[in-house]
Every structure is written in structure tokens, then in C-alpha cells.
């Protein structure tokens, strides 16, 4: 199999004992490192009220873009329900005005999902799945139920703080269409034309991010946009999301054929034992997210308490689908994931407590993949 491009997804994590300043400086250094190693893209995630430093994602993207020369930089993804299409296009248009042709604008519907959960709208019921599946060698675990997390008082309060009034919040498909119209210079409201300045005709690539066979996959396919499936967050439904996107795809001016990127969590070290030790605090970190309180500073494995059996069950799908080991074993796992999904690219996120270990993880993988 010909090696496909690899990209980096950076969560800009704040490590236990660290600060947001440390995390942002580390993001800039990691982007520069990724560029020198031959990674294709460097994407930053949007999360709020948790221990990550890229919550103001366009600002972080501007910092990274100014500190690099060639690598594409983008959002993975803008939670469009927390913003207006105009503000998003203007923010990315401003960066593009100084760094033309290097930006990827990823759009996700997390804001809409949380709004629905806060309003008490239950998601559609799916058949209960309790057993692992292997699809072309890729582990597909049973789905994790986010009902407790989404229903927590803290999540409801966060949604209240972040979301605009429901009457002002467009449907995800409408928001994507507005972003595309603003970039194309065809945006109208009430028969009046409005131009985003900067933003109109900016050289910004629009992507849609999704986790299941739902609206995001369909919106990306129907509009002929590239699609990112999050195996690293929702391994139970990511392959379904890819299939739904391909089924819905309609050729566009952007793409003649579907274009798929799949995300994966990795920790690479010089040997398997070291990699497992570096990854040992991943489970407790994921548990802090799924317990409803949001991500804590990334734990130091040297002082992290092991999870109880009940806590381990909450994070089991994420832990068992993380690719952990030396470079050859992780690369083999990623090749299997790429083959099973037909991915055109993979984007990897590697989170460890020590920043030098993150640099090393990306370096070892790049060399094994043949990027450098």
C-alpha cells in the first residue's frame, strides 16, 4: 500500500503542573517540528472550559501560521453552533489575508448536539451493541453512551454560557451553506448582499467533521466537501460515518470524488514498554472528560492512580483503540485503519505528559511512515 499523507491534530493540552502559556508555546513548537518532519497539515481543536489552551482556535491558528512557512494549518473543528458563520469566515479570512492558501476550516456540529441535549431532545435510538467487531482488522468496540456526560449539570451550564439564543442558531446544514456563500461572495439575507471583509474569496478549504452516520456525513457528501471521521473519539461509529459520507457524495467544484481523513490517537516510543508507560495516564484523562467535568490537566503517569474496574469500563473503547508501541507496530496499525476506511489521509493526535515525549512520538512515526 502506498503511504498516504499524515497530518497532526494538536489538542494544545495543558499538562499537570503546566500553564496555558506552556501549552501554547508547545503547540507552536510542535507545528514547527511537524513541518520539518513532512506532515501535511497541523490542526488545532476547539474545546471550552477544560484544560486545553486552544479554546480561541482562530487565535491559536494565527500564532501557528505566523510561526511556520509551508504546512497547512486549520481547525479541527470549529464548533459552529457556538459561533456565527460571519464571525468564523471573517476570522479565517483575516489570517488568510496574511498567509494565503494555507488554511483549513473544519466545521463540526458539537454546539448543536449540546443544545439539543440541554433542551431535553433525546437522540435517535440505535440498536444496542455490546460486542467488539473487527472490520478488515480494525477494532470497532461497542459504542460509549454519552447520556450521563451530556446530561451533567456542568455540561448544561457550559452550553448556557457558550450558545447564542436558539432563535439565532441556524441548522448545521444552513450554517455550512452560509460559510460557503460568504467565502464565495454570494451571501444574502433578505435580498441584500453582504461581503465578509476579510473573508470573501479567501483561499480557505472547508472541511466537515463527523463521528457517526448522521447529519455531518450527509452534509459533507451532498455538498461535495472533504470529510474527517473521528476514530480517535468515536471508534465505534467512525467507519459508519465514512460509509455514510461516501453514500451521500455528490461531485462538486471542490471535489470530483470523496476525500476522507480519519483521525487516530497514537503514542510512539523507542520500544513498546516505554510507549505503554507514556500512555498509562490516557485512561484517567479520558475518564475526566466522560465523567462530565471536562478534561483535567494531562496527568503525570508517575503519580497517576490506576482506574477502578468501573472507571476503566467507561474509557475502555478509547484506550483499546489507541495505537501505542514502537514505530513499526503503530505504523502497521495505522495502515490497517487506512485500508479499512479507504482513507486518503490520516491525522494523528499524540498526547503525553512530557512535551519532549510528544515531539519524539511524532518524529518516530514520521520516519517510519517515510515522511522525512
Predicted confidence (pLDDT) per residue in 291-305, tens digit: 988 899 999 999 999
| Domain-embedded: residue 244 | yes
Positive or negative CA dihedral for 278, 283, 289, 293?
negative
Lowest-confidence range among 7-11, 135-139, 309-313?
135-139
| Domain-embedded: residue 238 | yes
So what's the pLDDT on residue 115? 41
> Sorting pLDDT into bands at 50, 70 and 90, what band is 117?
very low
Residues 239-278: tens digit of each pLDDT: 999 999 999 999 999 999 999 999 999 999 999 999 999 9
Residues 43-53: tens digit of each pLDDT: 999 999 999 99
So what's the pLDDT on residue 293? 85
The alpha carbon of 170 is separated from its chain's Cα centroid by a whole number of angstroms, namely: 22
**CATH code of the domain containing 225:** 3.20.20.30
- Between CA 269 and CA 360 the distance in angstroms is 7
So what's the pLDDT on residue 118? 40
> Sorting pLDDT into bands at 50, 70 and 90, what band is 146?
confident
Residue with more model confidence, 145 or 318? 318
pTM for this entry: 0.90
* Burial bucket for residue 372 (CB in 10 Å: 0-12, 13-18, 19+): exposed
Mean pLDDT of 31-38: 99
- Between CA 194 and CA 185 the distance in angstroms is 8
Positive or negative CA dihedral for 296, 302, 308, 314?
positive
Number of alpha carbons in the 13 Å side-chain half-sphere of residue 370? 7
- Between CA 370 and CA 372 the distance in angstroms is 6
Please tell me the total count of domains within the chain.
Answer: 1
Number of alpha carbons in the 13 Å side-chain half-sphere of residue 266? 35
**Helix, strand and coil in the chain, % to nearest 5:** 45, 20, 40
> Sorting pLDDT into bands at 50, 70 and 90, what band is 119?
very low
| Domain-embedded: residue 1 | no
> Sorting pLDDT into bands at 50, 70 and 90, what band is 160?
low
- Between CA 234 and CA 247 the distance in angstroms is 20
So what's the pLDDT on residue 318? 98
Cα–Cα distances in angstroms (integers) from residue 11 to residues 47, 71, 309, in the given order: 8, 17, 27
Q: At what angle do helices 309-320 and 282-290 cross, to 10 degrees?
A: 110
Q: How many residues does the chain have?
A: 372
Lowest-confidence range among 41-45, 72-76, 103-107, 112-116?
112-116
Share of the chain above pLDDT 90, in %: 83
| Domain-embedded: residue 59 | yes
Residue 120 has pLDDT above 80, yes or no: no
Residues 167-188: tens digit of each pLDDT: 466 799 999 999 999 999 999 9
Q: Residue 84: how many CB atoms within 10 A of its CB?
A: 16
9 backbone φψ class: left, alpha, beta (φ>0; ψ -120 to 50):
beta
Residue 163 has pLDDT above 70, yes or no: no
> Sorting pLDDT into bands at 50, 70 and 90, what band is 137?
very high
Domain ranges, residue 307: 6-369
Tell me which residue of 40, 38, 45, 35 sits closest to 351, measured CA to CA.
45
- CB neighbour list of residue 42: distance below 8 Å, 6 or more residues apart: 7, 8, 10, 30, 31, 34, 35, 64, 68, 71, 72, 73, 74
Mean pLDDT of 226-238: 98
Mean pLDDT of 118-132: 54
Residues 311-342: tens digit of each pLDDT: 999 999 999 999 999 999 999 999 999 999 99
Residue 73 has pLDDT above 70, yes or no: yes
Amino acid at each position: 500500500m502506498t503511504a498516504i499523507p499524515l497530518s497532526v491534530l494538536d489538542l494544545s493540552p495543558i499538562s499537570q503542573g503546566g500553564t496555558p502559556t506552556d501549552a501554547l508555546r508547545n503547540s507552536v513548537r510542535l507545528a514547527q517540528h511537524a513541518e520539518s518532519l513532512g506532515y501535511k497539515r497541523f490542526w488545532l481543536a476547539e474545546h471550552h472550559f477544560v484544560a486545553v489552551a486552544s479554546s480561541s482556535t482562530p487565535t491559536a491558528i494565527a500564532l501557528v501560521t505566523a510561526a511556520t512557512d509551508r504546512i497547512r494549518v486549520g481547525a479541527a473543528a470549529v464548533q459552529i453552533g457556538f459561533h456565527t458563520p460571519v464571525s468564523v469566515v471573517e476570522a479565517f479570512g483575516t489570517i488568510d489575508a496574511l498567509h494565503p492558501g494555507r488554511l483549513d476550516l473544519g466545521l463540526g456540529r458539537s454546539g448543536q448536539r449540546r443544545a439539543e441535549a440541554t433542551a431535553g431532545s433525546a437522540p435517535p435510538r440505535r440498536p444496542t451493541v455490546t460486542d467488539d467487531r473487527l472490520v478488515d482488522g480494525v477494532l470497532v468496540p461497542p459504542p460509549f453512551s454519552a447520556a450521563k456526560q451530556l446530561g451533567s449539570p456542568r455540561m448544561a451550564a457550559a452550553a448556557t454560557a457558550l450558545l447564542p439564543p436558539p432563535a439565532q442558531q441556524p441548522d448545521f446544514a444552513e450554517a455550512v451553506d452560509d460559510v460557503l456563500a460568504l467565502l464565495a461572495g454570494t451571501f444574502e439575507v433578505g435580498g441584500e448582499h453582504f461581503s465578509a471583509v476579510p473573508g470573501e474569496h479567501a483561499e480557505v478549504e472547508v472541511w466537515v467533521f463527523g463521528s457517526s452516520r448522521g447529519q455531518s456525513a450527509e452534509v459533507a457528501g451532498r455538498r461535495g466537501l472533504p470529510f474527517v471521521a473521528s476514530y480517535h473519539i468515536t471508534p465505534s461509529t467512525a467507519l459508519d460515518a465514512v460509509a455514510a459520507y461516501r453514500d451521500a457524495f455528490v461531485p462538486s467544484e471542490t471535489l470530483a470524488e470523496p476525500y476522507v481523513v480519519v483521525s487516530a490517537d497514537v503514542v510512539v516510543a523507542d520500544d513498546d514498554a516505554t510507549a505503554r508507560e507514556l500512555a498509562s495516564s490516557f485512561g484517567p484523562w479520558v475518564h475526566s472528560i466522560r465523567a462530565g467535568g471536562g478534561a483535567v490537566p494531562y496527568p503525570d503517569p508517575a503519580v497517576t492512580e490506576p482506574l477502578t474496574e468501573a472507571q476503566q469500563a467507561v474509557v475502555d473503547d478509547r484506550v483499546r483503540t489507541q495505537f501505542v508501541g514502537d514505530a513499526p507496530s503503530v505504523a502497521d496499525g495505522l495502515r490497517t485503519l487506512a485500508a479499512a476506511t479507504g482513507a486518503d489521509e490520516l491525522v494523528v493526535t499524540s498526547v503525553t505528559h512530557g512535551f519532549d515525549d510528544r515531539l519524539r512520538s511524532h518524529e518516530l512515526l514520521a520516519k517510519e511512515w517515510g515522511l522525512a
